[in-house]
Structure 1
Amino acid sequence: MTSRLFRIERSSLGKIVYLWLSPDVEFPRLPFGTPFRALVVSELHPEAARQSAICEWLAASGCRYLMAWGQEASSWDDSMDWAALERSGYVVDADGEDFIPTTWHDGESLAEVLHFASNHAKHPTLELEDLLVLRLAHSPDPEDVLGQGPR
Protein backbone atom coordinates (compact mmCIF):
# COMPACT_ATOMS: atom_id res chain seq x y z
CA MET A 1 0.00 0.00 0.00
CA THR A 2 1.04 3.59 -0.47
CA SER A 3 0.01 6.94 0.89
CA ARG A 4 -1.30 9.69 -1.32
CA LEU A 5 -0.55 13.35 -0.81
CA PHE A 6 -2.88 16.04 -2.12
CA ARG A 7 -2.08 19.72 -1.77
CA ILE A 8 -4.94 22.15 -1.78
CA GLU A 9 -4.52 25.94 -1.69
CA ARG A 10 -7.17 28.03 0.02
CA SER A 11 -6.33 31.68 0.45
CA SER A 12 -8.40 32.33 3.58
CA LEU A 13 -7.05 29.30 5.44
CA GLY A 14 -3.40 29.08 4.45
CA LYS A 15 -2.18 25.86 2.92
CA ILE A 16 -4.16 22.69 3.54
CA VAL A 17 -2.39 19.41 2.83
CA TYR A 18 -4.43 16.23 2.79
CA LEU A 19 -2.55 12.98 3.38
CA TRP A 20 -4.08 9.54 3.32
CA LEU A 21 -1.80 7.28 5.31
CA SER A 22 -2.03 3.55 4.75
CA PRO A 23 -1.48 1.28 7.75
CA ASP A 24 2.11 0.20 7.07
CA VAL A 25 3.54 2.87 4.78
CA GLU A 26 6.66 4.81 5.73
CA PHE A 27 6.06 8.42 6.64
CA PRO A 28 6.61 10.91 3.81
CA ARG A 29 8.39 14.22 4.08
CA LEU A 30 5.78 16.92 4.60
CA PRO A 31 5.73 20.07 2.46
CA PHE A 32 5.70 22.59 5.29
CA GLY A 33 8.47 25.12 5.85
CA THR A 34 6.98 26.39 9.10
CA PRO A 35 5.19 24.83 12.07
CA PHE A 36 1.66 23.62 11.29
CA ARG A 37 -1.59 22.30 12.76
CA ALA A 38 -2.60 18.68 12.19
CA LEU A 39 -6.00 17.03 12.25
CA VAL A 40 -5.98 13.24 12.51
CA VAL A 41 -9.12 11.75 10.96
CA SER A 42 -8.98 8.23 12.34
CA GLU A 43 -11.33 5.86 10.62
CA LEU A 44 -8.92 3.00 11.33
CA HIS A 45 -7.34 3.01 14.76
CA PRO A 46 -3.69 1.98 14.54
CA GLU A 47 -1.94 -0.20 17.08
CA ALA A 48 -0.33 1.71 19.96
CA ALA A 49 3.23 1.48 18.57
CA ARG A 50 2.12 2.78 15.16
CA GLN A 51 0.14 5.62 16.77
CA SER A 52 3.18 6.61 18.83
CA ALA A 53 5.36 6.54 15.71
CA ILE A 54 2.87 8.76 13.85
CA CYS A 55 2.92 11.30 16.71
CA GLU A 56 6.73 11.25 16.87
CA TRP A 57 6.87 11.82 13.08
CA LEU A 58 4.35 14.69 13.30
CA ALA A 59 6.22 16.38 16.15
CA ALA A 60 9.57 16.00 14.35
CA SER A 61 7.98 17.38 11.15
CA GLY A 62 6.82 20.60 12.85
CA CYS A 63 3.30 19.85 14.11
CA ARG A 64 2.61 22.32 16.91
CA TYR A 65 -1.13 21.69 17.41
CA LEU A 66 -2.80 18.28 17.12
CA MET A 67 -6.53 17.63 16.85
CA ALA A 68 -8.06 14.16 16.60
CA TRP A 69 -11.45 12.96 15.38
CA GLY A 70 -12.80 9.48 14.84
CA GLN A 71 -12.02 6.12 16.40
CA GLU A 72 -10.35 6.36 19.79
CA ALA A 73 -9.81 10.11 19.28
CA SER A 74 -8.88 10.72 22.91
CA SER A 75 -5.94 8.31 22.69
CA TRP A 76 -4.15 10.67 20.28
CA ASP A 77 -3.89 13.26 23.05
CA ASP A 78 -1.77 10.95 25.20
CA SER A 79 0.36 9.73 22.29
CA MET A 80 1.23 13.27 21.21
CA ASP A 81 1.85 14.37 24.77
CA TRP A 82 4.41 11.56 25.17
CA ALA A 83 6.03 12.35 21.81
CA ALA A 84 6.31 16.05 22.76
CA LEU A 85 7.72 15.22 26.19
CA GLU A 86 10.34 12.94 24.69
CA ARG A 87 11.35 15.60 22.14
CA SER A 88 11.69 18.23 24.88
CA GLY A 89 13.68 16.07 27.28
CA TYR A 90 10.63 15.98 29.58
CA VAL A 91 10.57 19.76 30.05
CA VAL A 92 7.16 21.40 29.62
CA ASP A 93 6.98 25.07 28.67
CA ALA A 94 3.37 25.90 27.78
CA ASP A 95 4.51 29.18 26.20
CA GLY A 96 7.44 27.65 24.32
CA GLU A 97 7.62 27.08 20.58
CA ASP A 98 7.94 23.32 21.05
CA PHE A 99 4.74 23.03 23.10
CA ILE A 100 2.08 20.97 21.26
CA PRO A 101 -1.50 21.58 22.41
CA THR A 102 -3.85 18.66 21.74
CA THR A 103 -7.61 18.33 21.47
CA TRP A 104 -9.90 15.45 20.64
CA HIS A 105 -13.37 15.80 19.26
CA ASP A 106 -15.73 12.98 20.24
CA GLY A 107 -19.37 13.61 19.52
CA GLU A 108 -18.69 16.36 16.97
CA SER A 109 -19.25 16.19 13.25
CA LEU A 110 -16.25 16.28 10.99
CA ALA A 111 -17.51 19.59 9.61
CA GLU A 112 -17.45 21.05 13.14
CA VAL A 113 -13.91 19.81 13.72
CA LEU A 114 -12.70 21.24 10.41
CA HIS A 115 -14.25 24.57 11.40
CA PHE A 116 -12.45 24.39 14.75
CA ALA A 117 -9.16 23.48 13.03
CA SER A 118 -9.46 26.41 10.66
CA ASN A 119 -10.70 29.05 13.07
CA HIS A 120 -9.91 28.20 16.69
CA ALA A 121 -6.83 25.95 16.90
CA LYS A 122 -4.28 28.48 18.18
CA HIS A 123 -0.83 27.95 19.60
CA PRO A 124 0.08 30.19 22.57
CA THR A 125 3.26 31.47 20.88
CA LEU A 126 3.36 30.55 17.19
CA GLU A 127 1.26 31.62 14.22
CA LEU A 128 0.12 28.37 12.59
CA GLU A 129 -1.21 29.08 9.12
CA ASP A 130 -1.00 25.63 7.53
CA LEU A 131 -3.08 22.54 8.24
CA LEU A 132 -2.33 18.87 7.64
CA VAL A 133 -5.39 16.66 7.42
CA LEU A 134 -4.05 13.17 8.10
CA ARG A 135 -6.55 10.49 7.22
CA LEU A 136 -6.19 6.94 8.48
CA ALA A 137 -8.76 5.04 6.42
CA HIS A 138 -9.38 2.44 3.72
CA SER A 139 -10.39 5.12 1.20
CA PRO A 140 -7.99 7.82 0.00
CA ASP A 141 -10.65 10.18 -1.41
CA PRO A 142 -9.91 13.65 0.00
CA GLU A 143 -13.36 15.02 -0.90
CA ASP A 144 -14.93 12.69 1.66
CA VAL A 145 -13.15 14.79 4.28
CA LEU A 146 -12.31 18.15 2.76
CA GLY A 147 -15.74 18.56 1.19
CA GLN A 148 -17.10 19.03 4.72
CA GLY A 149 -14.72 21.85 5.58
CA PRO A 150 -15.05 25.60 5.32
CA ARG A 151 -14.87 27.25 1.92
Structure 2
Amino acid sequence: MFKLCVSMLVLFTLVSCKNANKKSEDSTKLKSEKAILMDLELGKTVYRANCAACHQRNGMGIPRVHPPIVNTKNSEGDKNYLIETVLNGARGEIKVEGEKYNNVMTNFKKLSDNEIAQVLNYIRNGFDNSAEVITAEEVKALR
Protein backbone atom coordinates (compact mmCIF):
# COMPACT_ATOMS: atom_id res chain seq x y z
CA MET A 1 0.00 0.00 0.00
CA PHE A 2 2.85 2.35 0.91
CA LYS A 3 4.54 1.67 -2.46
CA LEU A 4 1.29 2.46 -4.26
CA CYS A 5 0.93 5.79 -2.43
CA VAL A 6 4.53 6.74 -3.17
CA SER A 7 4.11 5.74 -6.82
CA MET A 8 0.95 7.84 -7.11
CA LEU A 9 2.68 10.80 -5.48
CA VAL A 10 5.65 10.54 -7.88
CA LEU A 11 3.31 10.25 -10.88
CA PHE A 12 1.26 13.26 -9.73
CA THR A 13 4.44 15.31 -9.24
CA LEU A 14 5.75 14.40 -12.71
CA VAL A 15 2.45 15.31 -14.37
CA SER A 16 2.29 18.61 -12.45
CA CYS A 17 5.84 19.51 -13.45
CA LYS A 18 5.15 18.65 -17.07
CA ASN A 19 2.04 20.88 -17.08
CA ALA A 20 3.94 23.72 -15.39
CA ASN A 21 6.74 23.43 -17.96
CA LYS A 22 4.21 23.44 -20.81
CA LYS A 23 2.56 26.61 -19.44
CA SER A 24 5.97 28.24 -19.08
CA GLU A 25 6.91 27.24 -22.65
CA ASP A 26 3.58 28.61 -23.97
CA SER A 27 4.11 31.88 -22.13
CA THR A 28 7.68 32.22 -23.42
CA LYS A 29 6.53 31.45 -26.96
CA LEU A 30 3.80 34.10 -26.73
CA LYS A 31 6.27 36.70 -25.41
CA SER A 32 8.79 35.94 -28.16
CA GLU A 33 6.09 36.14 -30.87
CA LYS A 34 5.05 39.55 -29.53
CA ALA A 35 8.70 40.63 -29.44
CA ILE A 36 9.08 39.65 -33.10
CA LEU A 37 6.10 41.80 -34.01
CA MET A 38 7.25 44.73 -31.88
CA ASP A 39 10.57 46.38 -32.55
CA LEU A 40 10.35 48.98 -29.80
CA GLU A 41 13.75 50.47 -30.61
CA LEU A 42 12.65 51.19 -34.19
CA GLY A 43 9.36 52.54 -32.85
CA LYS A 44 11.19 54.79 -30.41
CA THR A 45 13.49 56.11 -33.16
CA VAL A 46 10.55 56.83 -35.47
CA TYR A 47 8.63 58.44 -32.59
CA ARG A 48 11.50 60.75 -31.66
CA ALA A 49 12.04 61.78 -35.29
CA ASN A 50 8.37 62.35 -36.18
CA CYS A 51 6.13 62.60 -33.12
CA ALA A 52 8.07 63.96 -30.15
CA ALA A 53 8.04 67.59 -31.33
CA CYS A 54 4.28 67.74 -30.72
CA HIS A 55 3.53 64.89 -28.32
CA GLN A 56 6.84 65.43 -26.46
CA ARG A 57 9.49 62.81 -25.69
CA ASN A 58 7.59 61.78 -22.56
CA GLY A 59 4.27 61.44 -24.43
CA MET A 60 2.53 64.10 -22.33
CA GLY A 61 1.81 66.43 -25.26
CA ILE A 62 1.36 70.17 -24.91
CA PRO A 63 -1.74 71.16 -22.93
CA ARG A 64 -4.57 72.53 -25.11
CA VAL A 65 -2.32 72.29 -28.21
CA HIS A 66 -1.19 68.68 -28.80
CA PRO A 67 -2.83 65.78 -26.93
CA PRO A 68 -1.00 63.38 -24.64
CA ILE A 69 -0.56 59.75 -25.62
CA VAL A 70 0.11 58.44 -22.10
CA ASN A 71 -2.68 56.27 -20.65
CA THR A 72 -5.31 57.46 -23.10
CA LYS A 73 -8.16 55.56 -24.68
CA ASN A 74 -7.13 57.09 -28.01
CA SER A 75 -3.66 55.51 -27.82
CA GLU A 76 -4.79 52.14 -26.54
CA GLY A 77 -8.05 51.95 -28.48
CA ASP A 78 -9.12 51.24 -32.03
CA LYS A 79 -6.14 50.17 -34.14
CA ASN A 80 -7.69 51.27 -37.42
CA TYR A 81 -8.38 54.78 -36.08
CA LEU A 82 -4.73 55.15 -35.08
CA ILE A 83 -3.36 53.77 -38.33
CA GLU A 84 -5.63 56.03 -40.39
CA THR A 85 -4.69 59.05 -38.26
CA VAL A 86 -0.98 58.47 -38.87
CA LEU A 87 -1.52 57.76 -42.57
CA ASN A 88 -3.92 60.62 -43.29
CA GLY A 89 -3.23 63.12 -40.52
CA ALA A 90 -6.00 64.83 -38.61
CA ARG A 91 -7.66 68.19 -38.36
CA GLY A 92 -10.54 69.51 -36.36
CA GLU A 93 -11.57 69.17 -32.77
CA ILE A 94 -10.93 65.98 -30.84
CA LYS A 95 -11.39 65.16 -27.18
CA VAL A 96 -8.68 63.30 -25.27
CA GLU A 97 -9.38 62.39 -21.66
CA GLY A 98 -11.95 65.18 -21.39
CA GLU A 99 -9.69 67.90 -22.83
CA LYS A 100 -10.47 69.47 -26.23
CA TYR A 101 -7.77 69.83 -28.88
CA ASN A 102 -8.21 71.59 -32.20
CA ASN A 103 -5.01 71.50 -34.18
CA VAL A 104 -3.63 69.93 -37.34
CA MET A 105 -1.62 66.73 -37.42
CA THR A 106 0.25 66.16 -40.64
CA ASN A 107 0.06 62.81 -42.39
CA PHE A 108 2.98 60.43 -42.27
CA LYS A 109 2.44 58.54 -45.52
CA LYS A 110 6.18 58.91 -46.11
CA LEU A 111 6.81 56.28 -43.43
CA SER A 112 6.89 52.61 -44.40
CA ASP A 113 4.16 50.23 -43.25
CA ASN A 114 6.62 48.69 -40.79
CA GLU A 115 7.70 52.09 -39.42
CA ILE A 116 4.08 53.07 -38.82
CA ALA A 117 3.32 49.74 -37.16
CA GLN A 118 6.37 50.00 -34.92
CA VAL A 119 5.82 53.62 -33.90
CA LEU A 120 2.21 52.80 -33.02
CA ASN A 121 3.37 49.74 -31.06
CA TYR A 122 5.85 51.95 -29.22
CA ILE A 123 3.04 54.37 -28.37
CA ARG A 124 0.57 51.59 -27.49
CA ASN A 125 3.00 49.58 -25.35
CA GLY A 126 5.28 52.26 -23.95
CA PHE A 127 4.37 55.33 -21.93
CA ASP A 128 2.53 53.14 -19.38
CA ASN A 129 0.17 51.95 -22.13
CA SER A 130 -0.68 48.34 -22.88
CA ALA A 131 -2.52 47.40 -26.04
CA GLU A 132 -2.71 44.85 -28.82
CA VAL A 133 0.14 44.81 -31.32
CA ILE A 134 -0.29 46.41 -34.76
CA THR A 135 1.31 44.68 -37.74
CA ALA A 136 2.74 46.12 -40.94
CA GLU A 137 0.11 44.09 -42.82
CA GLU A 138 -2.67 45.93 -40.98
CA VAL A 139 -1.11 49.26 -41.97
CA LYS A 140 -0.76 48.13 -45.58
CA ALA A 141 -4.42 47.10 -45.69
CA LEU A 142 -5.49 50.63 -44.70
CA ARG A 143 -2.95 52.49 -46.82
Structure 1 length-normalised TM: 0.26
Between 1 and 2, higher relative CO (CA 8 Å, sep ≥ 6) is seen in 1
Higher strand proportion, which one? 1
Which structure shows the bigger proportion of residues in helix conformation?
2
| Larger Rg, first or second structure (1 or 2) | 2
Q: TM-score, normalised by structure 2?
A: 0.27
